[in-house]
Structure 1
Amino acid sequence: MEKNEIKLIVLDVDGVLTDGKLLIGSDGVEYKSFHVKDGMGISLARFHGIKIAMITGRKSESVHIRAKELRVDFLYEGITNKEEVLDEIVTTLNISLQNVFYMGDDINDLPVIKLVGFSAAPKDAADIVKRSVSFVSHFNGGNGAVREAIEIVLSYQVDYDVLVEKYLNETIRMTQ
């Protein structure tokens, strides 16, 4: 990966930002568990100027809420053709697919994984996906895998420690 290459991070949701379990209450409401470390990684990437997108095959109010909390730039739910959506996003941003990092966990993610400049998968992703990506996390989906991959991307582009220091200084300044 070349310096300053990644301009867009695209994430699958179920099995990447969550552990992949679907908790559906008797009232039909779907519940998901997100890891705060993944959220901090997304916040650091956004602070560095990287755009964030979530593309998922399911629709869930909890995903919508989490995306809003993290100020995700693009959220697409109920998507069967992730390639088409990715093409729309890169066209909107006027960037190359080589400037995209994608993280997915299952076979429906393979078409996008094969298109982008850098790809990753959680430790518990499908074997065929793990064989196809640039990086396999040491963590399972929903347990910090996104954070680890984002830290790698950021470390290639900037001095990570300096970025964290700037982030903390800006956060402290904004709260005063």
Structure 2
Amino acid sequence: MPSASLLDDATLIDRARRIRVLALDVDGVLTDGQLYFQADGVEIKAFHTQDGLGIKLVQQAGIEVALITGRTSPMVSQRATALGIAHVHQGRDDKLAALEALCRQLGLSLDQASYAGDDLPDLSAIQQAGLGISVPNAPVYVREHADWVTERHGGHGAVRDICDNLLAAMGNWPGLLTTYSSTEC
């Protein structure tokens, strides 16, 4: 069963049911927020495999996924390609402007967008999205403005928490369990 945090609030469930695009910050949400550099200066990032499956599941349920990040990294492009994420906005300091542009491109309102972030550049997007989400590793002054804070930290399954809860709010969770369950041993 996914984290009950979002599912305990009827208002948040209603808002989650309207979501048609899930926009994610990268560093601190999709990763643990640490920056890793090899001796030759090449940046590397670690991504959680459970987050990847969660992203694929919400995409199959008809939710677009987007990455909006202030940094620019080839690793982000590679991960997005591997997950089939078509909307990748790197080098974007104004996350709300990027989210608004994404919504216009998709013909959606901000009420149909969810945004997950972990720091001050994410704050306006968290506040204006139909469902603003943060992670426990975000500063308190960011978390207090989110509609919901995941149980798991960024880079450690937080995105999977988001995806599972969105799927559950949409009523897709029982079908997914049946799909992945087996009575054969």
Preserved CA contact (<8 Å) 1:48 1:163 = no
* SS across alignment from 1:15: helix
* SS across alignment from 2:27: coil
Paired residues in the alignment total: 168
What are the residue-to-residue correspondences of 1:114-153 with 2, within 5 Å? 114-153=127-166
Counterpart selection for 1:8 from 21, 25, 30: 21
Percent identity for Structure 1 against Structure 2: 36
Specify the code of the residue in structure 1 equivalent to 2:46: S
Preserved CA contact (<8 Å) 1:9 1:51 = yes
1:97 corresponds to 2:110: yes
Deviation at 1:58?
Answer: 0.5
Give the structure-2-normalised TM-score: 0.86
1:18 corresponds to 2:31: yes
1:72 corresponds to 2:85: yes
User: What is aligned with 2:64?
Assistant: 51
Q: Residues of 1 paired with 2:89 and 2:98: CA distance?
A: 8
Deviation at 1:150?
Answer: 1.5
Preserved CA contact (<8 Å) 2:17 2:166 = no
Specify the code of the residue in structure 1 equivalent to 2:21: L
Give the structure-1-normalised TM-score: 0.90
The Cα RMSD (Å) is 1.5
User: What is aligned with 2:95?
Assistant: 82
Moved more, 12-21 or 73-82: 73-82
Deviation at 1:102?
Answer: 0.7
Query: What 5-or-longer segments of structure 2 have no aligned partner?
Result: 1-12
User: What is aligned with 2:42?
Assistant: 29
